[in-house]
Amino acid sequence: MSFCVAIDGPAAAGKGTVSRAVAEIFGFGYLDTGLLYRATGAKTFEGLSPIEAAQSLTAEDLQRDDLRSGDAGQAASRVAAIAEVRDALVDFQRAFARRNGGAVLDGRDIGTVICPDAEVKLYITASDEVRAKRRFDELIEAGEKTTLDKVLDDLRERDTRDAARATAPLKPAEDAIIIDTSDMTIDAAVAQVVELIKARTV
């Protein structure tokens, strides 16, 4: 069975947490497409051009322990604005989306570009302040030194860059269901998404 759930949204809105939970509940494969761009961005730290980094990406690159850092996030946003980088990663994502057994993909252009024919399209968002606090807590727990104000500024800068890029800008698909998690628990968000998927699978 091929069944694709496309989940888009800005950083720290909860889409990754919801996506992983939903994939586990339904037994679907899960792909955090942001990791592809984070890994590509991280490889540029080693002197590769963004296009070289994307074209040489391997499964091992997705296991790097620095992919959740703030630097990797900013690098991901920069390389994601390059059309040739996105082109190099599209086929991998589309093949995963149509794997047997179902798939959940989260990112910024899944419902609009990668899987416009997905059976379920969601756009998960939250207020800037809520997202910044979530990301700040993650970074502090990971041992990074930063401030809430800097994290908020970085998030807004990244949102602006992601929404303004010419290729695959961050935006909801026209037929996506928008879920705002600002005042929701993760359990409540997961429960809502589970019901939406069940409605499309019966």
List residues forming the annotated binding site.
9-17
Q: Which residues are annotated as a binding site for ATP?
A: 9-17
- Angle at the Cα of 76 from the Cα atoms of 58 and 63, rounded to 5 degrees: 35
Q: How far is CA 53 from the centre of its chain?
A: 19
Q: How far is CA 118 from the centre of its chain?
A: 16
- Secondary structure, 3-state, 90-104: HHHHHHHHCCCCCEE
User: At which residue do the structure tokens 């998404």 appear?
Assistant: 193
Of 104, 31, 110, 45, which Cα lies nearest the Cα of 73?
45
Other C-beta atoms lying within 10 Å of the C-beta of residue 91:
9
3-state DSSP helix/strand/coil percent for the chain, to nearest 5?
55, 10, 30
Amino acid at 199: A
Do 91 and 112 meet the contact criterion of CB atoms below 8 Å apart?
no
Per-residue DSSP letter, 176: P
